[in-house]
Amino acid sequence: MQHRNERSEDEPIDDETVNAGAAGDRDALRSIYEATSDRVFRLMVRMVGPQDADDLTQQTFVRAFTRLAQFSGQSKFQTWLYRLATNEALQHLRREKHRRTKQLIVEPTMLATDHVEQDERIAMLRQALDQLDPELRAIFTLKEESGLSYQQIAQTLDIPEGTVGSRLNRARRELRKLLE
């Protein structure tokens, strides 16, 4: 059973916790993980699907914890962590592009016989998302699923804010086309 930290997942990770984690403090690392792992996992599910989300979430935290001392504090810690997670997902998608098969994935929480139509819509959306360019999928997922602002997405992906808006519009247009 996963233990929840007292820290809300929307509450920023403070510099003291980051510094303690960078120094190897296991309690600080645990605190960071417990406060952020659910959101990173949800991001991974949306980016790569549930079959690879656990492994990539773990890889993200391994990478984050080994690079914790490199966090400069120029952005929120969560933004830095989302950048690592998004990069991890994009690298995975690039590696798997040739081997990947398109699957209709329906989330288990939505499985109910009286929700067949809703399940079909979710499956169609998932399939359409799978067909989007990975960078467009990342922006769409960070905005629509994770609720990040244009500024946070720009920081996460290291692109200008205007580019976020134009790519988000492009992602929405392509999704509409794919769903029609």
Every domain of the chain and the residues it spans: 15-100+132-179
What pLDDT, in 10s, does the model give residues 76-131? 898 899 999 999 998 888 887 645 444 444 455 544 544 567 677 777 777 888 88
CA distances from 116 to 26, 122, 176 (A): 45, 10, 21
The encoded tokens of residue 35 equal: 């406060």
Which of the 8 DSSP states describes residue 151? H
The packing angle between helices 116-131 and 161-179, to 10°, is 130
CATH of 15-100+132-179, one of 1.10.230.10, 3.30.300.160, 1.10.1740.10, 2.60.370.10: 1.10.1740.10
More confident residue, 2 or 158: 158
Please tell me the predicted confidence (pLDDT) of residue 103: 45
CA distances from 126 to 35, 129, 131, 159, 168 (A): 27, 5, 9, 25, 17
What pLDDT, in 10s, does the model give residues 1-48? 333 344 445 567 888 999 999 999 999 999 999 999 999 999 999 888
What average pLDDT does the chain have? 81
The encoded tokens of residue 58 equal: 């773990």
pLDDT band at 163 (very low <50, low <70, confident <90, very high): very high
Q: Is the pTM of this model over 0.85?
A: no
The stretch 160-164 carries a mean pLDDT of 91
Q: What stretches of 49-160 show up as alpha helix (H) in DSSP?
A: 50-66, 77-96, 116-131, 134-140, 150-157
Please tell me the predicted confidence (pLDDT) of residue 93: 85
